[in-house]
Structure 1
Amino acid sequence: MDLVTLQGLLDNVSFAVLFITMLLYWCSLAFSGVPWLKVLGTTGMAIANLCIAALLIARWIEGGYFPLSNLYESLFFIAWGITAIHFVAERMSQSLWVGAMTSPAAMGITAFATLTLPDTMQHSEPLVPALKSNWLMMHVSVMLLSYAALMVGSLVAVAFLIVTRGQVVELKGSSVGTGGFRDRKYTLKRIAEKANPESVLSTAGGSTAVLEQPKTAALSMQRLTLADTLDNISYRIIGLGFPLLTIGIISGGVWANEAWGSYWSWDPKETWALITWLVFAAYLHSRITKGWQGRKPAFIAATGFVVVWVCYLGVNLLGKGLHSYGWFF
């Protein structure tokens, strides 16, 4: 089997495995009493990660350069990054929600690359002169890894919003000290004409939950603990992706100066990279400096998910700017 045939096989297998993995994670949420569903889901993510890695290595061998020269390759690199960071988030949280959010994202990316892009974009071709640089691996790989990490962190924040739907949850604690090492206090507030007396519940690790209980049922203690876990994991993963984004932007400026004679040209890609940086800088600032936790920063992170996609894919639809080569046009 030649490398081209192997690549075609691996991208289809990756899509099929991720589709099945997504169904397994969703079923594991619906039937939480069936632990082997989560095990199968984790196994599926591992298989998909290895298949995508093998696909990228095969293209590297075939083309003779790091496979990040066109949209097809970058999509699979991001999918690989999402599946890799998924294991970091899942290990920290032990929550089914991580896989339930990351698997459809990875599956959708591989489906778009495999089923939507024309064959001409899926084949490995010689690099254009502008990409024949050692900065290709440094800048593009770091940027795409930052996108993957920010997407995973944002998706976990969306999971937090789903878990706490209909409730206004404020998590009171230190944003710098995280997990079991911070002094946590959960405050659940709901809009009601007359507030009922507060009841205090204890949680694992000595935390307390202060609930202003309305007449309707509030979040259970299990959901409050899950909400805190998702909030914490989202913060940690975004805290990983933000420095990568910063390094990627700086390295891009150095490469731009070598290639085009200017560190910054207000190219659409550069502008949206800056917007992405500012959105997640606002997220981290609100948590570290302002002490925000819970739904407010989760909304910022959810907005960041959209902004990342506009930066990565949306501006390429314009077909304008210095970054237009190697993508749609």
Structure 2
Amino acid sequence: MSTNIIENNIININFFLLFFVTLFYWLQSALFLPKSLNSLPNKLTYLSCFLQVGFLVLRWFSSGHFPLSNLYESLLFLSWVLTTLLLFLNSKLITKNTSQTKNIKDRLTSFTFLKEQTFLFESLLGSILSPLILLLNTFATFSLPLELKTSTALVPALQSNWLLMHVTVMILSYATLLCGCLFSIIYLFLTPANLTEIEFQGNSIGLPTNQTLTSLNNSLEDKKLVNPNSSNLAKTLDNLSYRILGFGFPLLTIGILSGAVWANQTWGSYWSWDPKETWALITWLIFAIYLHTRISKGWSGRKSAYLASFGFIIIWICYLGVNLLGKGLHSYGFFN
């Protein structure tokens, strides 16, 4: 059996797997999934991650170069990074919650609340990220022409070790930034526009402690919110979005700098104001403003979420929109 057939089989199986992952996460969030199946979405996500790794490794060995030379490969690599990020966040959430309280008595009294919050937030993360992962796989599998899916020899400009360094870091930055922006977008849906920010102390991902839970619920009742848990989850999303964007911004910076060095070696200039370079700079400026206003100006909540939501659009213009034009020095293997 040829490697192309194996690759196609892996991609097709993974597509259906991701479809059921998304469906189960949505059912879980709506409390329609039986409790006996609560662990099923996570298990299927692990299986999907394994299949995606298998595809990338097989592609690497069959092509002889790291699988990031065209749009098809970069979309599937981005999908794998987002899947891995989802699994990491879920495992980090469970670890943090089980170790949130050191006192045995406090741990026993808070166990029910922590379990409920973990379940709700884990379902929410899956419901947010799994549709994006599914859409990436759907677009790569069914929308791209066959010539863009076929592995070919690298053009001279891409025959460099910088391909692994620059493109990998850029895709990692796109994945983390998209993830953080999505959390900000969902935050806007979970919080009323006229809701004043409620500040409370929490752990590193923003979940409230038992000491602040009572006062928080009283504040929420005073504001006549229908579901206090939605505000707890929204606050957590806001904090988590900030931390993920704070991680993705340095990756974007390193990716742009490494690209400049590679460009100088290949084209004799660090910066050519190529469309891809220009939009990468615009993306960098948007998230630099986000972090500056968040750190220096004390912005949080909806103001930061609006800025991050705008950044979500800019990322897609930089990643896909520019390549749709097929112009510039970064059009290798795309729609030119």
TM-score by length of 1: 0.87
Is the 1:273–1:311 Cα contact (8 Å) retained in structure 2? Answer: yes
The structure with the largest strand share of the pair is: 1
Per-residue deviation at 1:90?
2.6
Deviates more, 1:129-138 or 1:224-233: 224-233
Per-residue deviation at 1:265?
0.8
Match of 2:309 in 1: 302
* 1:248/1:47 CA distance change after superposition, 3 Å: same
Q: What residue identity is the alignment partner of 1:180?
A: N
In the TM superposition, 1:34-73 aligns within 5 A as 34-73=34-73
CA distance in 2, matches of 1:167, 1:240: 30
CA distance in 1, matches of 2:252, 2:35: 36
Instruction: Specify the SS of the correspondent of 1:293.
Output: coil
In the TM superposition, 1:158-307 aligns within 5 A as 158-172=185-199, 179-180=202-203, 204-206=210-212, 208-209=215-216, 210-211=219-220, 213=222, 217-307=224-314
Which of 177, 201, 210 is residue 150 of structure 1 equivalent to?
Answer: 177
Per-residue deviation at 1:305?
1.2
Over residues 231-268 of structure 1, what are the superposed CA-to-partner deviations in whole Å (9 max), with x where a residue is unaligned? 11111111111111111001000000100111111111
Segments of 5+ residues of structure 1 without an aligned counterpart are 185-201
In the TM superposition, 1:127-146 aligns within 5 A as 127-146=154-173
Q: What residue identity is the alignment partner of 1:106?
A: I
Give % identity. 47
* 1:32/1:227 CA distance change after superposition, 3 Å: farther
* 1:35/1:273 CA distance change after superposition, 3 Å: farther
Q: Are residues 1:125 and 2:125 paired?
A: no
* 1:320/1:205 CA distance change after superposition, 3 Å: farther
Q: What residue identity is the alignment partner of 2:231?
A: L
Instruction: Specify the SS of the correspondent of 1:110.
Output: helix
* 1:293/1:231 CA distance change after superposition, 3 Å: same
Per-residue deviation at 1:182?
9.5
CA distance in 2, matches of 1:261, 1:315: 22
Is the 1:169–1:294 Cα contact (8 Å) retained in structure 2? Answer: no
CA distance in 2, matches of 1:160, 1:324: 35
Segments of 5+ residues of structure 2 without an aligned counterpart are 94-117
Residue correspondences, number? 306
Instruction: Specify the SS of the correspondent of 1:218.
Output: coil
Q: What residue identity is the alignment partner of 1:289?
A: S
Deviates more, 1:27-36 or 1:308-317: 27-36
Over residues 94-135 of structure 1, what are the superposed CA-to-partner deviations in whole Å (9 max), with x where a residue is unaligned? 411111010000000000000111111111100011100000
CA distance in 2, matches of 1:205, 1:242: 34
Is the 1:153–1:233 Cα contact (8 Å) retained in structure 2? Answer: yes
Instruction: Specify the SS of the correspondent of 1:262.
Output: coil
Instruction: Specify the SS of the correspondent of 1:180.
Output: coil
The structure with the largest helix share of the pair is: 2
TM-score by length of 2: 0.85
Q: Are residues 1:326 and 2:333 paired?
A: yes
CA distance in 1, matches of 2:293, 2:272: 30
In the TM superposition, 1:43-122 aligns within 5 A as 43-93=43-93, 94=118, 95=121, 96-122=123-149
Match of 1:187 in 2: none
Is the 1:86–1:152 Cα contact (8 Å) retained in structure 2? Answer: no
CA distance in 2, matches of 1:229, 1:219: 18
CA distance in 2, matches of 1:146, 1:25: 25
* 1:171/1:264 CA distance change after superposition, 3 Å: farther
